[in-house]
Amino acid sequence: MSAAPLRQSRASSLSDRDEVRYLGRLLGDVIRDFDGKAAFDTIEELRQASVAVHRDDAPERRAELARLLAGLSLDDAVRFIRGFLNFSLLANIAEDRQAGIVPSGSETRPERLEGALAELARHGVAPEDVAATLAGALISPVLTAHPTEVRRKSVIDRESAIAALVAGRADTSDPADPDAVDAALYRQIALLWQTRPLRAVRLLVVDEIANALSVMRESLMPVLPALHRRVETLLGGASVGSFLKPGSWIGGDRDGNPFVTAETLRMALAGQARVALQHYLDEVHALGAELSISASIASVTPALAALAEASGDESPHRQDEPYRRALSGIYARLAETHVELTGVRPPRAAKLLADAYAAPEALIADLSVVRDSLITHGGIRFAGTRLDDLIRAASIFGFHLAALDMRQNSGIHRAVVAELLREAGVCADYEALSVPERTALLRRELAHRRLLVSPFASYSEETRGELDILRAAAEAHRRYGPASIRNYLISHSTCVADLFEVYLLLKEAGLYHPGDVPACAVMVSPLFETIEDLEAAPAVMREFLTLPEARALAEARGGVQEVMIGYSDSNKDGGYLTSNWALFEASLALADVFADSGIRLQLFHGRGGTVGRGGGSAFAGIRAQPPGTVGGRIRITEQGEVIASKYGTPALAALNLETMTSATLLATLAPPETDPADLARFSTAMETLSAAARAAYRGLVYETPGFNTYFRAATPVGEIAELKIGSRPSSRTKSDRIEDLRAIPWVFSWSQSRVMLPGWFGVGAALSAFPDKALLKAMNAEWPFFAATLSNMSMVLAKSDIDIAALYSDLVEDEGLRGTVFGEISAGWHRTRDQLLEITGHTEFLGDDPALARRVRMRLPYIEPLNALQVELIRRYRRGETDARVREGIHLTINGIAAGLRNSG
């Protein structure tokens, strides 16, 4: 943040490091201009002291940094934290910009479609095979509102504006005056500096919906059609179905969130319809402006002539312009559809009166008439890409934009079903029945048409709420079509009865139709999330798929059944290595079960951004899936801060969706990278490693007396719960057991305290006890699953810092407890580090990714002082200091550390 001149050169050649420096200097200017030289000097002195510690970790440098931090007044501390927070935000912009630049020559990399297709060709997979796979494929990023994004939308918006200016500045072909760009950047950074980083009030579901809608509108809608077009071109012009489709949980995931109701479901879908239809209206309008073709000069097909005639557009200006007339008619029908589906007129009213479209297919049919006429009388190039993309958009997004999933916990379903059965006089105590008894009863109920719900009975609030949202889902199917809600996820699934309970509830809402061949437009997907449940999943699904009604339901939807697997909760339950292994094994066993049953498996990966919640490279993650488990169909949750970093701009979205597509194609069509004999050998080793890691992890977390007390004192878990970053409460129940804590605050708090425990603990114990080091090295070299597991762990460890963790442990008052638990953590950390380096042959973390290692190192000086201040402020806060700046300071440090660490929530 030093006061060097604003601009060095027109910066197409700036590296991310130079760009970070440039933005940092602008921030320094802003702070000096708005808060004065003294404020700037204080922050700058601290910055230099922290950077000096990272250059040369001498005790006197540390002491100097500590002295400066201790000397800060509360006002200065808050300003300083904001300074570092904003610096990290600006550094992220530079990093993301570089990540979004597609390096020339990168096409050969397997992440890129060209590279993936070339690799497949080397394996003898022809373009027709790829096209055939895509015909039955589904690749779906599913946006969720999991509360790990600490930034306000206003902050993200400023960042986007800055990112656009930085990109423009680097573009030497852009004639914009560089000084004007610098001035605009200065202004945006000044606005950012004066924008409050913390939310004043808790985020509501409606805000979460609005945030997701903006990502869908700005990034997904423009990018997905073009990506399909690119795939078709690369496949030599083959036509492929719409395989990339977004999903969302926002407004429908009510597991542990009492604020998600029938009303939010309606709001989400109406908002989605508005975005989709507005896009279509805009595009039709633009086409209308463009297609000024006169019938006196060119011919049109009879179908187009008929469409023009039927439009009712009698304007004398357009009488000889059949395309424009046809498009006016389409516009009018879309505008009416807008009114019907969203309840409001679109901002640009139609000039004609027309009937709404009953379904997106009717819109596609009309647009295809236009396209066919253009092609017949001018050729493909004449038809252009805008119309193609619009037709593709209508096929991907329909009138619903993204499939909205519903989710609820199995325990709630059980209680609701029990109440309905009791009130209807079918079963006095359903919950007391054994699982087979429950399954049998549910199947009997599902076999006939009689309903349980009576308008004259009075049900509990919970039951009424559940019935309401199901009825809202049925209404949504009538309004927006069955593509609007396709899946219903059951958290904490353990048995077949869990699935049938939901079908029974769907029946009550008219969504499940009994009969010889039952039908249900909503697929019920179990979510298996503890180690025990993952282990049981294959048997549960085997039992389910042998039942005729389950098979009939799957067959009616193309022979597919989805199973969701949870990364975070399995990690919290069994630790990092065991969770990864349990997920791998369950997937593999599920693939066998499904292969036997003849039904296709669709795995839905419930993962977050940080490694402890299944994060890490999406490409490596998908490629590392066990053989036979992808099969062209995959859904993956995208949450929190990951949404902005992967989909924040169209360029990033295009790149990340392409990566997802390449990885899915390779995982589906390339031969397994690991030889089956090796896989068997490696799996046996993993069994041993996983058992040892689990024992070490559970020994610490669940079996060490007082561990919970340690955790609550030595991390900011309580303070994180006070952040207003999500609509849902941070715990499902009032219990404070670790088992009952949600995975997000668990992982988030370990990240803040820089222990990153969920990303590694137990691994060192397992690896060090394993005698055959040569085998471990072979596993790392030859097995993508193991390599990805270690590589992700390496990233986590690079962001951890055991000395900083020690500062947090000082918050634990009981000295004995502190010594025991921190001693275990520290010994485990050192063991894990040593083992990792030995097996990978690296000398430092992230040895396999030096560029990332450098980026992480560059950030650490901006994080560490925030950790030190956080510890100090937490100490004061917990001692009862009531000055609002103490709490504000803590919350700002949480933001600042999260911004610096990036994927930490």
Q: Footprint of ligand PGA on this chain (CB under 6 A)?
A: 146, 255, 491, 568-569, 606, 608, 613, 742-744
Phi, psi of 826 (to 5 degrees): -65, -45
d(CA 280, CA 773): 59
* C-alpha pair distances (Å), 603 with each of 166, 253, 375, 519, 534: 39, 18, 40, 22, 13
Tell the smallest beta-carbon distance from residue 646 to ligand PGA (Å): 16
Tell the smallest beta-carbon distance from residue 653 to ligand PGA (Å): 21
Helix, strand, coil percentages in the chain from 3-state DSSP, rounded to 5: 65, 5, 30
* Contact assessment for residue 787 and residue 793, using Cβ atoms and an 8 Å cutoff: no
Phi, psi of 58 (to 5 degrees): -85, 150
Comparing CB distances to ligand PGA, the nearer of 609 and 626 is: 609
Tell the smallest beta-carbon distance from residue 572 to ligand PGA (Å): 8
* Contact assessment for residue 783 and residue 682, using Cβ atoms and an 8 Å cutoff: yes
Using alpha carbons, select from 199, 229, 218, 185 the residue that is nearest to residue 90.
185
Comparing CB distances to ligand PGA, the nearer of 146 and 325 is: 146
Comparing CB distances to ligand PGA, the nearer of 261 and 826 is: 261
Q: Which residue has the tokens 């059949």?
A: 322
Structure tokens at 822: 């921190």
Tell the smallest beta-carbon distance from residue 337 to ligand PGA (Å): 34
Tell the smallest beta-carbon distance from residue 663 to ligand PGA (Å): 21
Tell the smallest beta-carbon distance from residue 756 to ligand PGA (Å): 15
Q: What is the 3-state secondary structure (H, E, C) of 693-738?
A: HHHHHHHHHCCCCCHHHHHHHHCCHHHHHHCCCCCCCCECCCCCCH
d(CA 785, CA 580): 9
Comparing CB distances to ligand PGA, the nearer of 32 and 146 is: 146
Phi, psi of 570 (to 5 degrees): -70, -35
Tell the smallest beta-carbon distance from residue 439 to ligand PGA (Å): 24
**Strands, sheet with 523-528, edge to edge from the N-terminal-most edge strand:** 403-404, 247-248, 138-144, 633-639, 600-606, 560-566, 523-528, 487-491, 406-409
Exposed / middle / buried, residue 903 (Cβ in 10 Å: 0-12, 13-18, 19+): buried
* C-alpha pair distances (Å), 339 with each of 258, 342, 343, 480: 30, 6, 5, 13
Which residue has its beta carbon closest to ligand PGA? 568
Tell the smallest beta-carbon distance from residue 528 to ligand PGA (Å): 12
Comparing CB distances to ligand PGA, the nearer of 16 and 569 is: 569
d(CA 827, CA 824): 5
Comparing CB distances to ligand PGA, the nearer of 417 and 741 is: 741
d(CA 128, CA 55): 55
Comparing CB distances to ligand PGA, the nearer of 568 and 867 is: 568
Comparing CB distances to ligand PGA, the nearer of 151 and 254 is: 254
572 in catalytic set: yes
Comparing CB distances to ligand PGA, the nearer of 162 and 796 is: 796
Tell the smallest beta-carbon distance from residue 746 to ligand PGA (Å): 8
Catalytic residue among 572, 646, 799, 891: 572
Tell the smallest beta-carbon distance from residue 684 to ligand PGA (Å): 30
Comparing CB distances to ligand PGA, the nearer of 272 and 637 is: 637
The distance in angstroms from the start CA to the end CA of the chain is: 28
d(CA 900, CA 757): 18
Comparing CB distances to ligand PGA, the nearer of 93 and 743 is: 743
Using DSSP, state whether 887 is helix, strand or coil.
Answer: helix
* Contact assessment for residue 725 and residue 128, using Cβ atoms and an 8 Å cutoff: no
Tell the smallest beta-carbon distance from residue 565 to ligand PGA (Å): 12
Tell the smallest beta-carbon distance from residue 799 to ligand PGA (Å): 18
777 in catalytic set: no
* C-alpha pair distances (Å), 450 with each of 405, 445, 512, 678: 27, 8, 12, 55
Mode of pairing for the β-strands spanning 633-639 and 406-409: unpaired
CB proximity list for 816: less than 8 A, separation 6 or greater: none
* C-alpha pair distances (Å), 615 with each of 253, 621, 828, 905: 21, 8, 22, 10
DSSP string, 133-159: HHHT-EEEEEEE--S---S-HHHHHHH
CB proximity list for 105: less than 8 A, separation 6 or greater: none
Comparing CB distances to ligand PGA, the nearer of 225 and 758 is: 758
d(CA 758, CA 80): 30
Q: What is the 3-state secondary structure (H, E, C) of 513-533?
A: ECCCCCEECCEEEEEECCHHH
Tell the smallest beta-carbon distance from residue 148 to ligand PGA (Å): 8
Structure tokens at 813: 């008052």
**Eight-state DSSP code of residue 612:** G
Comparing CB distances to ligand PGA, the nearer of 491 and 903 is: 491
Phi, psi of 660 (to 5 degrees): -65, -40
d(CA 613, CA 751): 12
Catalytic residue among 146, 245, 279, 891: 146
CB atoms within 10 A of CB 656: 23
d(CA 847, CA 838): 12
Amino acid at 724: K
Residues taking part in catalysis: 146, 572
